[in-house]
Structure 1
Amino acid sequence: MLGQFVISLREGLEAVLLVAILVAYLKRSGRAEEVPYAYYGAIAALFTGFAAAFGAVAIYGGLEEEQKVLFEATASYLAVAVLTYMILWMAGKNVKEEVESKAKRKFLWGIALISFVFVVREVFETVLFLTPFAARDLHGTVLGAVGGISLAALMSFAIIKLEYKLSLRRFFYVTSVLLTFIASGLVGYGTHELVEFLEEKGYESWLFEKAYDLGFDESSPLHHKGIVGGVFAVLFGYSASMEWIRVFAQFGYLLVFLAAVNLKYGVLSVKKSREVKEVTE
């Protein structure tokens, strides 16, 4: 549930914050009559997202057991691809400037469209990211998503009230690091499911053999399906046993993209500090 909570918090914050900034900009620029259209677009995006979520659940429920394994593997890899792109894309973005630049033109349904695009993008990403989790734990995924989105809404309005004095950059950096761990876990889970599918098809390889096995059975709280291990499994990709190919894929991804996130935020910080220094001199 914690992994689902973090994903929903991050995506929910982006969606609600974008709409809140759009509304604040319209009010400050004397265009309060256009504010309802921003809400219309956001509401339409939510309904579209709910339809996508129900569609994903319906498709999964209608699959055979072998197809479900392949579906979970594919959904995990697809979620990782989009999640990775989103993490790296967000680094260096000035959210406030981007929203206000798009809202400068005055046309009512255009405001609704801007709001719709902002929100539906985040909703689709959230549905995509949560699909592998929902396939394993629908109840925990729903609770985590509701909790994350609720907190995101509170944080977004608090940020608007504080006039952006809170460090969004620091928030996105910390959550980017945590999401990188979650994404690496999805790489590992997707690889494990793919191995199961290939073995059922008769494929064999030394890469499919166990790299290690901690010896915990499923009744143990330290197993990756147990109470304690399950938390670490979602947040950090922990598993009581792993195939060699999963070790290479999961930890290879983690090392590469942890370095990429830190490099991206680090380089941007250095660049920003240099620009500030040049202006003050």
Structure 2
Amino acid sequence: MLVPFLIMLREGVEAALIVGIVASYLKQTGRGAWMPAVWVGILLAMALSLFVGAGLQLVSAEFPQKAQEFFEAIVGLIAVLVLTSMVFWMRKAARSIKSELHHSIDAALSHSTGQASALIGLVFFAVAREGLESVFFLLAIFQQSTNNDAPLGALLGILVSIVLGFGIYFGGVRMNLRRFFFWTGLFILLVAAGILAGSLRHFHEAGVWNRMQTIVFDFSNVLPVSSPLGTLLSGMFGYQDTPTLGEVIAYLTFLALSVFMFLRPAGRHTVAAQASH
């Protein structure tokens, strides 16, 4: 429950920042009448995300066992890709996201015709990015989850992010966004490493990957994955009580490289600095 909550909280806050920047700029420049177009873009992006998620879930339910395992492995790899790209994109874009959005809004509204469509498209693509990232992550987590807590955690994360988004926009909530995105970014990389190891396991169960299947250690008697703590660690970080050599190598290699790249200095400007102006 904690993992989907934190991921959806981060995704929701990212989307809320983007929408908040757009709404604030329209208000500041006397173009608040265009806000209905912003809401249309948001609703269309949400509809697309729900449609893609439901479609993938329905299609996968029809697969035979091995095909299902292969599908889950592919979804896991996509989830790792989008989660990692999300972390590094925000780390890089934080320095210029506000000015870029302002420029895009000016460009969208500078034409004599098609202004509404251009603004709807701008908001739609910005929010749809966050929504589709969430879809693949949630699919990967739901496939690994053994209970019904994951959907509840995701819903709570979305609801809290909406409240925070309105609070930030109206000035009632102050957040240190630099720290928020830093610590959630590290957490996401840990989660992504676990999903990557899990994808390798699904490939093996699908009969696609059969190398490096030596058991590195056996904690099934000390901390079984079926125990309360084992279930928690499995849901959060992809813990397995009998991991194979391939899974351990994939986990540690991805984590070492991604954390190293993430901790490299990225400049002084951050989302917090951009959002405060």
The bucket for the TM-score relative to the shorter chain is 0.7 to 0.9
Deviation at 1:54, TM superposition (A): 0.6
* Greater Cα offset, 89-98 or 62-71: 89-98
2:181 is aligned to 172
Distance 1:204 1:267, change over 3 A: closer
Deviations, residues 195-246 of structure 1 (Å, cap 9, x unaligned):
2222xx7x754x1121111124xxx9x4334322222222223221100010
SS at 1:99's partner residue?
Answer: helix
Deviations, residues 106-154 of structure 1 (Å, cap 9, x unaligned):
1222111111111111111100111111223373332121111111111
SS at 2:30's partner residue?
Answer: coil
Q: TM-score, normalised by structure 2?
A: 0.87
Deviation at 1:63, TM superposition (A): 0.8
2:16 is aligned to 16
Please tell me whether the aligned partners of residues 92 and 266 of structure 2 are also in contact (alpha carbons under 8 angstroms).
no
Distance 1:47 1:143, change over 3 A: same
Deviations, residues 14-50 of structure 1 (Å, cap 9, x unaligned):
1122112211111111001101110011011111111
**For this pair of structures, how many residues does the alignment match?**
261
2:104 is aligned to 102
Give the alignment partner of residue 128 of structure 1, picking from 133, 136, 139: 136
In structure 1, C-alpha distance between the alignment counterparts of 2:220 and 2:173, rounded to whole Å: 50
Structure 2 residues without counterparts, runs of 5 or longer: 110-114, 271-277
Structure 1 residues without counterparts, runs of 5 or longer: 274-281
Task: Tell me the amino acid that sits aligned with residue 194 of structure 1.
Answer: F
Deviation at 1:163, TM superposition (A): 8.7
Task: Tell me the amino acid that sits aligned with residue 253 of structure 1.
Answer: F
In structure 2, C-alpha distance between the alignment counterparts of 1:65 and 1:28, rounded to whole Å: 56
Residue 243 of structure 2 is aligned to residue 242 of structure 1: yes
Please tell me whether the aligned partners of residues 144 and 235 of structure 2 are also in contact (alpha carbons under 8 angstroms).
no
Give the alignment partner of residue 147 of structure 1, picking from 156, 162, 165: 156
1:57-72 residue pairs with structure 2 within 5 A?
57-72=57-72
In structure 1, C-alpha distance between the alignment counterparts of 2:77 and 2:227, rounded to whole Å: 24
Please tell me whether the aligned partners of residues 17 and 157 of structure 1 are also in contact (alpha carbons under 8 angstroms).
no
Deviation at 1:164, TM superposition (A): 9.0
Residue 266 of structure 2 is aligned to residue 258 of structure 1: no
Residue 187 of structure 2 is aligned to residue 185 of structure 1: no
Q: TM-score, normalised by structure 1?
A: 0.86
Task: Tell me the amino acid that sits aligned with residue 243 of structure 1.
Answer: T
In structure 1, C-alpha distance between the alignment counterparts of 2:129 and 2:138, rounded to whole Å: 14
SS at 2:206's partner residue?
Answer: helix
Distance 1:169 1:226, change over 3 A: same
In structure 2, C-alpha distance between the alignment counterparts of 1:140 and 1:71, rounded to whole Å: 23
1:212 is aligned to 217
In structure 2, C-alpha distance between the alignment counterparts of 1:223 and 1:49, rounded to whole Å: 36
Give the alignment partner of residue 123 of structure 2, picking from 115, 124, 137: 115
2:75 is aligned to 75
In structure 1, C-alpha distance between the alignment counterparts of 2:54 and 2:176, rounded to whole Å: 35
Identity %: 26
SS at 1:214's partner residue?
Answer: coil
In structure 2, C-alpha distance between the alignment counterparts of 1:86 and 1:179, rounded to whole Å: 9
Please tell me whether the aligned partners of residues 75 and 131 of structure 1 are also in contact (alpha carbons under 8 angstroms).
yes
In structure 2, C-alpha distance between the alignment counterparts of 1:204 and 1:179, rounded to whole Å: 28
Please tell me whether the aligned partners of residues 204 and 210 of structure 2 are also in contact (alpha carbons under 8 angstroms).
no
After superposition, the CA RMSD in angstroms is 2.1
Deviations, residues 68-104 of structure 1 (Å, cap 9, x unaligned):
1111111111111121122112113233323222111
